[in-house]
């Protein structure tokens, strides 16, 4: 139960971070190009990828069935 709540809190934290980082006005700080590549394009996909990695990390190990009723009895 504790683990599930912790996971939920972590994802909520990621949600908040994502809302802030992937929306204006933070977004508007990134403009122009670096080595010819648009900085905003790189920034958005980088943050997006990190966000997904964070979600995968928070959800890790949960694919194993936790509440599977085993044939114990």
Partner 1 sequence: MTQGLIITVAIGYLLMLFGVAYFVEHRARGTRLAGSSAVYTLSLAVYCSSWTFNGGVGRAAQTGLDFLPIYLGPTLAFCLGPLLIRRMLRVSKANNITSIADLIGARFGRSGGLAALVTGIAVIGLTPYIALQLKSISNGFEALSGTPSHTPGPIDSAFWAAVILTVFAMLFGSRSIHPGEHHPGMVVAIALESVLKLAGLTVIGLFVGLGLFHGFGDLFARANAVPDIAAIFSYDPQRYGFSWISMTLLAGLASLCLPRQFQVMVVENVNEQHLDRAIWQFPLYLLAINLFVLPIAIAGRVLLPGNADPDNLVVALPLLGGQPALALVAFLGGVSAAASMVVVETTALSLMVSNDVVMPALLRIPALRLGKRDDLTRLLLWVRRGVMVLLMGLGYLYMRRDGAQFALVSIGLVSFVAVAQFAPALIGGLFWRSSTKAGAIAGISAGFLVWCYTLLLPALAGPGSFATDYVANGPFGIALLSPYHLFGLPGLDPVTNSTFWSLLFNIAAFTAVSLLGRQRPVERAQAAMFIDTDNPNEAAQIWRRTAMIPDLSSLATRFLGRDRADAAFAEWAMARGLDPKTAVRADAETVLFYERLLASAIGAASAHVLVGALVEEEAIGVDDLMRILDETSRIIEANRRLEDKSLALERATEELKRANTRLQELDRLKDDFVATVNHELRTPLASIRAFSEILRDHPDISDQERGEFLRIVIAESERLTRLIGQLLDLSRIGEGGPAVSYRPVDLAAVARDSAFAMQQVFAGRGIAFRTRLEAATAPVLGDHDRLVQVLINLLGNAAKFSPAAGGEVELGLRRLGDGFELTVADNGPGIPPADRETVFERFRQLGDTLNGKPEGAGLGLAICRGIVAQHGGRIWVDAAPSGGAMFKLTLPAMAEPRR
Interaction site with partner 1 (CB under 8 A): 4, 7-8, 11-12, 14-15, 18-19, 22-25, 27-29, 31-33, 35-41, 44-45, 48-49, 51-52, 55-56, 59, 62-63, 65
Q: How far is the CB of 10 from partner 1 (least distance, A)?
A: 10
Q: How far is the CB of 17 from partner 1 (least distance, A)?
A: 9
Q: Name residues whose C-beta falls within 8 Å of residue 58's C-beta, 6 or more positions apart in sequence.
A: 7, 10, 11, 14
- DSSP-derived 3-state class of residue 73: coil
Q: How far is the CB of 72 from partner 1 (least distance, A)?
A: 20
**Angstrom distance (rounded) from CA 12 to CA 61:** 18
The token duo for 45 is: 């996909």
């Amino acid at each position: 139960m504790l683990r599930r709540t912790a996971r939920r809190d972590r994802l909520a934290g990621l949600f908040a971070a994502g809302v802030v980082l992937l929306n204006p006005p933070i977004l508007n700080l990134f403009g122009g190009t670096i080595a010819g590549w648009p900085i905003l394009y790189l920034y958005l996909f980088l943050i997006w990828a990190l966000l997904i990695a964070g979600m995968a990390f928070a959800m890790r190990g949960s694919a194993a069935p936790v509440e599977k009723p085993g044939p114990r009895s």
